[in-house]
Amino acid sequence: MGFKNTSTSYGLVAKLLHWCLAAALWGMFLFGRSIASMKPALDNIHLYGWHKSIGILLLTLILFRLLWRIISPPPKIIIESTTPKAQIYLAHGVHFSLYILMLVTPLLGWLASSATGFEMRFFGSFKIPPIIPEDPAIEELLFSLHGLSATLLVALSVLHLCAALYRHFIKKDDTLRRMIR
* Domains, the chain, with CATH or none: 12-180 (1.20.950)
The stretch 58-75 carries a mean pLDDT of: 97
CB-based burial, 63-94: b 16+ in 10 Å, e otherwise: eebeebeeebebbeeeeeeeeeeeeeeebeee
The model's pTM: 0.93
Residue 166 pLDDT > 80: yes
Q: pLDDT averaged over the chain?
A: 95
pLDDT for 79: 82
Q: Residue 59 — very low, low, confident or very high, per pLDDT cuts 50/70/90? A: very high
Residue 151 pLDDT > 90: yes
The stretch 86-109 carries a mean pLDDT of: 96
Exposed, middle or buried: residue 131 (CB in 10 Å: 0-12, 13-18, 19+)? exposed
pLDDT for 77: 84
pLDDT for 82: 81
Closest C-alpha to 118, from 128, 107, 105: 128
Helix or strand or coil: residue 79? coil
**R_g of the chain computed on alpha carbons:** 19
Q: Residue 25 — very low, low, confident or very high, per pLDDT cuts 50/70/90? A: very high
Q: Residue 26 — very low, low, confident or very high, per pLDDT cuts 50/70/90? A: very high
For 128, the enclosing helix (H) or strand (E) is strand 127-128
Residue 111 pLDDT > 90: yes
